A = this chain, B = another copy of it.
Amino acid sequence: MTLKDIAEIAGTSLSTVSRSLNNSPLISEETRARIQAIASAHGFQPNASARSLATSRTGTIGLILPENYDRFDGLLYNAALHNDLRRSLERAELDTIVAFKQNRVSRQDNIEKLVTRKKVDGLILVQPDIDRKSVRFLEERTIPYVLIQYPPDEPNPPYDVFYSDSWTGGRIVAQHLLDIGCHRPLCITGGQERQSRQRVDGFRDAYKASGLPEDTVTVLHGDYSAASAAALIHENLENIGNYDALFAVNDLMAFGAMEVLRASGIRIPEDIAVVGFDDTALATALIPSLTSVHQPEEEIAFLACERLLELIDERTEFGRRISEARTTSLQPRLVIRESSGSRRKPAASDGTGAS
């Protein structure tokens, strides 16, 4: 079933059919209605390849995932983000090609492939192992693209980024713990990436600002896995009584730590308050439920898509980006649950309001 078939049925020319289906104002109201009726009666759908060949728009965007996407901790968080993104894109009738950054067998860069073959109108790069090469490539080609979830390393990067402010995330955890009277916190990090570091920095900075001694915050280094956190706690079990709070930079490590703590008879939150990060589904499943930092992933997904659509429109109209690149930092919020909740002091005494 092609335009030609519809044209024959309707007894008009092929171009009239095309215009009718695209709601062109050049066509009279009756013919348009008549043709649209015929088309939908026959279940006509335009051939996507033919259309994009003619219009050089594909109606598809590329969602590029980092190589380590299948690591468990990332899986939980990213899969949710991923779904939110697709949901956002379907509002604009865009299909989504999901790809890893590199094809593992042909070693081809999927970004370059999708772009030069003109399979996509734009790209969403999720937590990319950002390399200057890809960015330069995309900029040279004036391809619409946005980045998600990566605190940029320069103040005003040439691209659009949407990320959840890790530093603030760490800070609001610290404020909450100070609020409930925890003055000897232990912190478990995940790695040396900026994201993990910033969470710890925000945490540490807030403790510094509270006037407590410099060395108040103890930091141990894990690798995002539950096992690593469990091992760390296990090794430091004899000193664990020195701490009254535990902040893990992701929920999974909080979980691993809690396992060992409880196995050792340490009560949560009475003996030690525990806070995680990412507010994954794990947080509510745990007993006691886990206080965690919720990242506004739905909002990030929504805004990133909106922006991408803008960029696509600009490109079809002017051939390139017109508006300036923006770096958008979204604020995470703390979800207080049992793992720190019941220790909470009645009311703030020092005016630092953590919401």
Which residues of A pack against B, CB within 8 Å?
A: 1, 43, 45-50, 52-53, 58, 60, 63, 69-70, 72, 75-76, 79-80, 83, 86-87, 90-91, 93, 95-100, 103-106, 112-114, 116-119, 225-227, 230, 252, 255-256, 259-260, 262-263, 281, 284-287
Contacts and interface: CB of A to CB of B under 8 A. Distances in A.
Contacts of A86: 98-100
B90 A105 contact: yes
Contacts of A70: 79-80, 83
B104 A95 contact: no
> Max chain B CB contacts within 10 Å: which of A45, A104, A114, A286?
A45
A98 B100 contact: no
B48 A119 contact: yes
Contacts of A99: 86, 90, 95-96
A112 to B, nearest CB: 8
Contact of A48 (B75, B105, B118): B118
A76 B113 CA distance: 30
A112 B1 CA distance: 14
B90 A104 contact: yes
Nearest to A92: B105
A90 B103 contact: yes
Interface SS of chain A: helix, strand, loop or mixed? helix
A43 B75 contact: no
A255 B113 CA distance: 43
Nearest to A113: B45
A116 B49 contact: no
B95 A114 contact: yes
A225 B285 CA distance: 8
Given A48-B117, A69-B83, A83-B70, A287 B97 contact: no
A164 to B, nearest CB: 19
Given A47-B53, A252-B285, 11 more contacts: A49-B118, A60-B119, A86-B98, A86-B100, A87-B104, A90-B105, A93-B103, A96-B97, A259-B286, A259-B287, A260-B287
Contacts of A58: 49
A20 B6 CA distance: 38
A230 to B, nearest CB: 6
> Max chain B CB contacts within 10 Å: which of A63, A91, A95, A255?
A95
A69 B47 CA distance: 29
Contact of A226 (B46, B117, B285): B285
Contact of A75 (B1, B50, B76, B227): B76
Contacts of A76: 75-76
17 contacts: A43-B116, A47-B117, A47-B118, A49-B52, A49-B58, A60-B97, A63-B98, A70-B83, A75-B79, A75-B80, A79-B79, A90-B104, A93-B103, A93-B106, A97-B98, A98-B98, A226-B285
A96 B1 CA distance: 25
Contacts of A284: 226-227
Nearest to A46: B117
A259 B289 CA distance: 10
Contacts of A112: 45
B281 A75 contact: yes
A98 to B, nearest CB: 5
A91 to B, nearest CB: 5
